[in-house]
A and B are shown apart, each in its own frame.
Chain A
Amino acid sequence: MAKNKTIDFQALLDKAHSDFPMYQALDKDGNVVNEALVPDLTDDELVELMTRMVWSRVLDQRSTALNRQGRLGFFAPTAGQEASQLASHFAFEKEDVLLPGYRDVPQLIQHGLPLTQAFLWSRGHAAGNYYAEDLKALPPQIIIGAQYVQAAGVALGLKMRKKPNVVFTYTGDGGSSQGDFYEGINFAGAYKANAVFFIQNNGFAISTPRDKQTAAVTLAQKAVSAGIPGIQVDGMDPLAMYTVTKMARDWSIAGNGPVLIEAITYRYGAHTLSGDDPTRYRSKEMDDEWVAKDPLIRFRAYLEAKGLWNEEKENEVIENTKEEIKVAIAEADKQPKQKVSDFLKSMFEVQPQNIKEQIEFYEAKESK
């Protein structure tokens, strides 16, 4: 029995949890707390990043309103995650491949998906998913985790083609419990492939709090199981999100394999607008605490101190975005109704007998 005492399990556990500090560049008031994480961005680029974050906040507000009016369908709120979503995306190139989850529509639009198509996707119209050939992305993935194993395949493809690009994919805290999450990072690790994996840890998977998902103290440490670097970042901090993502991208493209990034963030809204009521599982105090950490507040303060941002500028972005949304919704309204015969035609490149027969049947029906 005495022999067993040579293994100090508590020490092993402490060690497993020890090496994942949270990286932060800006505190909640916009003060630089870690100069090394302040990115080398021009003034114009800083303004562009802020513009995108404000754009995303307005898009979230307007999408919620349009959903309530019945003018949009499925919508997963994004407010609170602007740094996590837009600043990480800001570190990527157009030729990088984006495999988004269902909450990652803002990145998809910034990557090149026309806003009208994003709205059509929300409504459940196929035209929302007709992707131009040069749009290196897939539609938002509904099966949580599937984007991770697919990302491993894209990553290997990029490596085999010797492209100076990565695939980047996002899931949530709940998604880190899926088998495909582990398989995805493990495959990409085994092939040392070009990928950056994100966990946007917003504290809840619908109503289930983060600590019900796993005994792991961070989600970043799950990278250890794949033998790849894992890093935890303040997901409310645009500068840290950008810098860490950029470094991860560079590291992966250099042939070192994938990186897992856990962004600590929050969603102010409901899980989705399909009937979820966050007051059942979240307190007002908790919401208030995170509103104080708002990425827009701290980035606004940081840019204002540099003389790069003011209320007038912000209002201009807000008005432009509202106008852009109005135009996109009007455009979406003009989309022709979907036809079953079109669905049938898109099933296969070479149509089998049953499909041909059904096309004939539905075309006759549709021409009446």
Chain B
Amino acid sequence: MAQMTMIQAITDALACELAADENVVMFGEDVGKNGGVFRATEGLQEKFGEERVFDTPLAESGIGGLAFGLALEGYRPVPEIQFFGFVFETMDEVVAQMARTRYRMGGTRNLPITIRSPFGGGVHTPELHSDNLEGLIAQSPGIRVVIPSNPYDAKGLLIASIRSNDPVVFLEHMKLYRSFRDEVPEESYVVPLDKAGITREGKDVSIITYGAMVRESIKAAEVLEKENIDVEIIDLRTVAPLDLETILASVEKTGRVVVVQEAQKQAGVGAQVAAEIAERSILSLEAPIGRIAAPDTIFPFGQAEGAWLPNAKDIEDKVREIANF
């Protein structure tokens, strides 16, 4: 075991998979010699060579096409999109090509691609770096969206994603990259895809969340505990498709639920979570489904992030309201 930040756990996962499978290749803008703009691929080119870890021209659609074509030739590509706000440049390759190829070819071809990309607010980036766009991909059949919330999950989920023969969009929250350390095994291990984690067990209110909002929910739960509100936190981990078994088991136990996301209310996956709960477990509910999300504006100018991003205080208030409904 070692103490690792999330970014170190990610680098470690990438190194594990480069060593384990010669078909794993990594590429993107500045991921080679430079080791990535966040050092996620630091030292990998040096260790595994330029054929395995390499830079690309500055063009996201081309990167998507490169991944697609390499996968057809039997590689296991792990491309990087420098910031997920740039996904619009390659939406066709991601949702109209990679996500649908297995279906359109009746299962005769697989595209084992894992697209890594940073996103998320709280670090005062310039425009279109931090936007929470997971909902766009979540609405696209044929591709998984995985969002880890801590170093341990990040390593295990990334290894699982790379080993998956189905395509994955793996989103890395920038605020979580270095904000805390976790015990992470040095050897390879897998955290299963399509399976939510129970971050905290509780009996009064379920919080269903993902990404940076898991940490905010933990903080809120600690405050609420002192008020005798016992919160259960479900970390979705794979945000699309959803692990309804885990979500519904929690909701049926507590009877009260708050869905928390950093994305705007009209975006993200919160509405899908709420709809599934309403459809399947409404008779277990003792209160309306509470929701915490960002306002429906464009992602804020850097200095306004504090006022805009949902936080532990917002979550506390909403959980109190639902607990006392």
B120 contacts partner chain A, Cβ-Cβ < 8 Å: no
Q: Which residues of B contact A354 (CB under 8 A)?
A: 241-242, 244
Most chain A CB inside 10 Å of its own CB: which residue of B69, B96, B107: B69
Residue of A nearest to B59 (CB): A183
Question: Is the beta-carbon distance between A353 and B69 smaller than 8 angstroms?
Answer: no
A76 contacts partner chain B, Cβ-Cβ < 8 Å: no
Q: Which residues of B contact A187 (CB under 8 A)?
A: 56-57, 59, 62, 65-66
B164 contacts partner chain A, Cβ-Cβ < 8 Å: yes
Residue of B nearest to A343 (CB): B103
Question: Is the beta-carbon distance between B92 and A146 smaller than 8 angstroms?
Answer: yes
Within 8 A of B (CB), among A313-362: 342-343, 345-350, 352-355
Range for the number of chain B residues in contact with chain A: 35 or more
Question: Is the beta-carbon distance between B241 and A129 smaller than 8 angstroms?
Answer: no
Q: Which residues of A contact B104 (CB under 8 A)?
A: 126, 129, 139
CB distance from B141 to the nearest CB of A (A): 6
C-alpha spacing A209/B96, complex, angstroms:
28
C-alpha spacing A117/B163, complex, angstroms:
32
C-alpha spacing A99/B142, complex, angstroms:
21
A108 contacts partner chain B, Cβ-Cβ < 8 Å: no
- Interface stretch, picked from B10-18, B72-80, B317-325, is B72-80
Q: Which residues of A contact B199 (CB under 8 A)?
A: none
Question: Is the beta-carbon distance between B73 and A161 smaller than 8 angstroms?
Answer: yes
Question: Is the beta-carbon distance between B70 and A153 smaller than 8 angstroms?
Answer: yes
Question: Is the beta-carbon distance between A156 and B69 smaller than 8 angstroms?
Answer: yes
Out of A148, A155, A158, A346, name the residue touching B106 (CB < 8 Å).
A346
A186 contacts partner chain B, Cβ-Cβ < 8 Å: yes
The total number of A-B Cβ pairs within 8 Å is 142
Beyond the given pairs A167-B69, A349-B164, 19 more chain A to chain B contacts, judged by CB atoms under 8 angstroms and listed by A's residue number, are A129-B108, A133-B108, A139-B105, A143-B97, A149-B64, A149-B66, A149-B68, A151-B65, A152-B69, A153-B66, A153-B69, A161-B73, A179-B61, A180-B62, A184-B62, A342-B106, A347-B103, A352-B241, A353-B243
C-alpha spacing A292/B67, complex, angstroms:
44
Residue of B nearest to A160 (CB): B51
Within 8 A of B (CB), among A127-159: 127, 129-133, 138-139, 143, 146, 148-158
Range for the number of chain A residues in contact with chain B: 35 or more
Question: Is the beta-carbon distance between B57 and A186 smaller than 8 angstroms?
Answer: yes
Out of A149, A342, A345, A352, name the residue touching B62 (CB < 8 Å).
A149
Out of B105, B243, B245, name the residue touching A129 (CB < 8 Å).
B105
Q: Which residues of A contact B316 (CB under 8 A)?
A: none
Question: Is the beta-carbon distance between A346 and B166 smaller than 8 angstroms?
Answer: no
Question: Is the beta-carbon distance between B74 and A157 smaller than 8 angstroms?
Answer: yes
A190 contacts partner chain B, Cβ-Cβ < 8 Å: yes
Most chain B CB inside 10 Å of its own CB: which residue of A148, A187, A342, A348: A348
30 contacts across the A-B interface (CB closer than 8 A): A129-B104, A129-B106, A130-B105, A139-B104, A143-B92, A143-B96, A143-B97, A149-B65, A149-B68, A153-B65, A153-B70, A154-B73, A156-B69, A157-B70, A160-B73, A179-B61, A180-B65, A183-B57, A184-B65, A190-B57, A343-B103, A346-B102, A346-B106, A347-B103, A349-B110, A349-B166, A350-B193, A352-B194, A354-B242, A354-B244
